[in-house]
Amino acid sequence: MKKLSFVVPTFALSIGILTLGSAPCFADQDQVAPDQVVGAIEGTFGVTPGERRNHTKGVCALGEFAGSPKMAPYSRSALFSGKPVPVVARFSLAGGNPKVPDTAKSARGMALEFRLPNGNLQHITMLSTPMFGAAQPRTFLDQMVAMKPDPATGKPDPEKIKAFKATHPDNRAQAEFLDQNNPPASFSTSAYFGIHTFKFINKKNKTTMVRWHFVPADGEKRLSDDQLKTMPANFLEQELIERTQKGPARWDMMVWIGQPGDPEDNPTLLWPKDRKEVKAGTLTISSATPQKGAECEKINFDPLVMSDGIAPTSDPILLFRSPAYAVSFGKRLGGM
């Protein structure tokens, strides 16, 4: 199937517009199956056999994370032991098109696998936007179907896009952020956000609601309007490889401490700006390489792979991502 030149403006998985005659209408059904979502992505972007269905274009990296023991009042996770742990990372662009231009106004992704002692793992998957583009999996579905190209034009039907926007206000904040902010000039000059609320659990079993983001030591730098027009289609991978050859790229993991009443199950809503913020550690990326055959290529960065001391909330998007990733992972392992 022909690959599309546009991109999905979220990290996400999406579908769901049904049509009756020429007038679009949205399904009333709330239940969304993971294979529906993955199938919708395939319907919109096509299939690149053996590759991820979403965030298809990416680059692998290696490094380590040194967590802070000062997090002990909040979490007993080995992630914050103070001892460096190896990290396998993947940086990516949203959408299922492996040839999407690096200037696309879409979300960038950072996925991390922390290899803790005794074979334990911690996964963290993040976006370059501070909020997500859906409060419920149904929005995924409806957005992806709205973006499916019309066979006659090879482009999405503007009326379906318009109908989606009008009926899904939970997509608005992220769409506006992507529209108003040019994409990062480098993977190393982007902040990355955990999007969801998580639970930190300490040795006394006290639970604290948290959100986190990773702040680049290189500073946040975005492409200028002129660069959006002049930069080549492929520069992010080579730029990161060359950046790490000059020296490690670093991010500080910053954790916001929640207060009663803060949204816990809606990743489209931000927390108030005055929340306490704690430095939880530093991520160091020491090398990067094309993803084909590299360490990150075969990893399923399931966000529900968590170490003791970190737990999920009831966020429906967070809980849905794991089975959806599993469907995609199974397909690419099978060479599909």
Which residues does the annotation mark as catalytic? Answer: 55
Tokens 């991109």 sit at which residue?
7
Q: Which one-letter amino acid corresponds to residue 333?
A: L
* Cα angle 244, 248, 254; round to 5: 125
Helix (H) or strand (E) holding 144: helix 137-147
**Per-residue buried b or exposed e for 245-267, using 16+ beta carbons within 10 Å of the residue's own CB:** eeebbbbbbbbbbbeeebbbebb
Alpha carbon distance 246, 190 (integer Å): 18
Tokens of 266: 């809606």
CB under 8 A, 24+ apart: contacts of 114-117: 114/65, 114/79, 114/85, 114/86, 114/87, 114/307, 115/85, 115/86, 115/87, 115/88, 116/78, 116/79, 116/85, 116/307, 117/78, 117/85
Position 222, amino acid: R
CA distances, 186 to each of 39, 92, 103, 191, 249 (Å): 31, 11, 10, 11, 11
Q: Which single residue is written with the structure tokens 């399931």?
A: 302
Calculate the alpha carbon distances from 33 to 27, 290, 292, 333 in Å. 14, 32, 30, 20
DSSP, res 5: S
| Eight-state DSSP code of residue 105 | S
Q: How far is it, in rounded angstroms, from Cα 89 to Cα 100?
A: 20
